[in-house]
Structure 1
Amino acid sequence: MSFEHAHTVTTAATPEAIWTLWSDPDTWSSWDPAVVAVDLHGGFEEGTTGTLTLAGPIEVPVLLAIVEPGRRYLDQLTLGDLVIRVDHVVEPLADGGSEVVVSTTIDGPGADDVGPVVTAEAPLALAALTAAAQEL
């Protein structure tokens, strides 16, 4: 089974400001209501692994599968037989500001049931992220 969801916002915040928050996992819990804590075993770079503590609390292994500094990162969470990939992309807008897209793909048994729960707070997280980025 597979589930896919994407959420897009535009913001006055610069791509650099968005990236500053994305690339600092210590800030994640301040703008993403699903995140309690992040413990990475290395820098914010492709291949780094760690543990993501989600509300519940639920601890899941996390892998930074793709990191394109200033533009994109994809984190991969493994929860039993489920693999959750969250792709974060920021692009500059011609008139200033940014377009931010967060896409979630879930593969494994029950993905269709878990997907709506996993992505329910995406709009809140993006609103808080962009508000915080505008303050930088």
Structure 2
Amino acid sequence: MTFELEQTVTTSASPADVWALWSDPGTWHRWDPAVRSVAMEGHFAEGAAGTMELAGPMEAPFVLEIVEPGARYLDRLTIGDLVIRIDHVVVAAGDGAEVTVRTTIEGPGAEEIGPVVTQDTPRALEALTALAEGREE
């Protein structure tokens, strides 16, 4: 079973401003309401691994599968039999940026758990862009 959701927002922040937040896992809890804390081994690069403490509370190991500095990263979380991939893409658009987050969940019950996992995505995108624009939420 597979679940997918993609959401895109625009911001007056530059792609570099968005990337600065994305590439610093220590800030993830500031803009993603599902994340309490992140512990990552090594630098923000492909293959780096760590653990996220999620609301619930629950811990989930993650790996950065793709890192294209300044533009994109894809992280993979494993929770039981579920594999959750979250693809983050930022591109220049006008005087700001377009930010897209695509979540793909695979495994038993993915279609049922998907809406629960992604319910905070709009709030996370709003908080991310607010921080990137220099306005706190």
> How high is the TM-score relative to the length of structure 1?
0.98
In the other structure, the counterpart of 1:19 is: 19
In the other structure, the counterpart of 2:7 is: 7
C-alpha separation between the residues in 1 aligned to 2:24 and 2:57?
Answer: 21
Where in structure 1 do 4 or more consecutive aligned residues deviate above 2 Å? none
In the other structure, the counterpart of 1:41 is: 41
Once the 2 structures are TM-superposed, how far is the Cα of residue 125 of structure 1 from its aligned partner?
0.2
Once the 2 structures are TM-superposed, how far is the Cα of residue 96 of structure 1 from its aligned partner?
1.2
In the other structure, the counterpart of 1:127 is: 126
Question: Alpha carbon RMSD of aligned pairs, Å?
Answer: 0.8
Runs (5+) with no aligned partner, structure 1: none
C-alpha separation between the residues in 2 aligned to 1:57 and 1:36?
Answer: 8
Once the 2 structures are TM-superposed, how far is the Cα of residue 8 of structure 1 from its aligned partner?
0.4
User: Residue 16 of structure 1 aligns to a residue in which SS?
Assistant: helix
C-alpha separation between the residues in 2 aligned to 1:128 and 1:51?
Answer: 22
Q: Percent identity?
A: 60
In the other structure, the counterpart of 2:75 is: 75
C-alpha separation between the residues in 1 aligned to 2:76 and 2:39?
Answer: 14
C-alpha separation between the residues in 1 aligned to 2:41 and 2:27?
Answer: 16
1:87 aligns with 2:62: no
Q: Which residue identity does 1:130 align to in structure 2?
A: T
Runs (5+) with no aligned partner, structure 2: none
C-alpha separation between the residues in 1 aligned to 2:80 and 2:56?
Answer: 16
C-alpha separation between the residues in 2 aligned to 1:38 and 1:86?
Answer: 15
C-alpha separation between the residues in 2 aligned to 1:29 and 1:134?
Answer: 17
The alignment covers a number of residue pairs equal to: 135
User: Residue 135 of structure 1 aligns to a residue in which SS?
Assistant: coil
Q: Which residue identity does 2:56 align to in structure 1?
A: G
In the other structure, the counterpart of 1:117 is: 116
